[in-house]
Amino acid sequence: MNFKTPTFALTFGLLAAPAFAGGLAMPVADPVAPAAPVAVAPVVATGSDWSGFYAGGQLGYGEAETDDDTFDEDGAVYGGQLGYNYDFGKLVLGGEVSYVGTEIGDEDSATEIDGIATAKLRAGYDAGAFLPYVTAGYASAYTADDIGGEDQFDGYVYGAGVDYKVTENIVVGGEVLQHEFEDLGATDLETTTAAARVSYQF
């Protein structure tokens, strides 16, 4: 009996089985490709809107002197302001009234200044959170004692300042003003004030 053929077939089958078994393995899925990065548009800062009413307080320092050098005093100034701005884009226009009491003078001085009231226009540049501006208008000084029969003297005021928005409603800033009062008795009076300000914008 010839066993060559069956033996060969059996040997071939045992050797080939691993190869065929590998061919029947489950296919391996390709790894998922990472998602493409999504472009995020940059956030563009927009300018602040300065339109609206505002009210606040101020504290600073002032100096006053007369043309004839009979009065030259300095001291604290403190008070409040009320105003309105309208923002046209880059140009901001507005008006403001204010009153500050002063410690300019002394009890022995006949030209002690009790307070200064102003009504002025403002023109500023909208630089986002910053608002630099110039201002000018009417001023009135009130003295502790009569000078030439008067205790109120009219004049004008001009100056500059800058406001900064801490939030949409809270504004801080600084302002320097020059006041000119004429016919203060036989002389004229000049007053310079510099004040830090804080306001609430409605």
Question: Would you say residue 16 lies in a domain?
Answer: no
* pLDDT the model gives residue 80: 98
Residue range 2-21: mean pLDDT, rounded: 45
Is 191 a residue whose pLDDT tops 50? yes
Question: What pLDDT is recorded for position 20?
Answer: 44
Structurally, the chain folds into a number of domains equal to 1
Number of H helices, E strands in the chain: 1, 8
Range of weakest confidence among 10-19, 20-29, 91-100, 123-132: 10-19
pLDDT at 28 exceeding the cut of 60: no
Q: Is residue 69 part of a domain?
A: yes
pLDDT tens-digit profile of 163-187? 999 999 999 999 999 999 987 777 8
- Compute the C-alpha angle 20/25/28, nearest 5°: 140
pTM of the entire predicted model: 0.74
In a domain, 135, yes or no: yes
Predicted local distance difference test score (pLDDT) of residue 66:
86
Amino acid 9: pLDDT: 44
**What does the alpha-carbon distance between residue 135 and residue 150 come to, in Å, rounded to a whole number?**
28
Give a yes or no: residue 140 inside a domain.
yes
Between 35-44, 152-161, 175-184, the lowest mean confidence (pLDDT) is in 35-44
pLDDT in tens, 94-125: 999 999 999 998 766 667 899 999 999 999 99
174 vs 22: which has the higher pLDDT = 174
* C-alpha separations of 108 from 111, 168, 181 in Å: 9, 46, 21
- Check residue 24 and give its pLDDT: 46
> What CATH number does residue 187 fall under?
2.40.160.20
| 166 lies in some domain | yes
Domain membership flag for residue 178: yes
> What percent of the chain is modeled with pLDDT above 70?
74
CA dihedral 86, 87, 92, 95 (to 10 degrees): 10
For residue 160, the model assigns a pLDDT of 98
Number of neighbours of residue 165 by Cβ within 10 angstroms = 18
66 domain residue, yes or no: yes
- Kindly report the average pLDDT of the chain as a whole number: 83
Residue 186 belongs to a domain: yes
DSSP string, 100-147: EEE--S-TT-TT-EEEEEEEEEEEEE-BTTEEEEEEEEEEEEEEEEEE
Tell me how long the chain is.
Answer: 202
Checking if the pLDDT of 200 tops 90, the result is yes
Cβ-contact 149, 129 below 8 angstroms: no
Q: Containing domain of residue 155, as a range? A: 52-201
- The pLDDT of residue 1 is 47
pLDDT of residue 119: 98
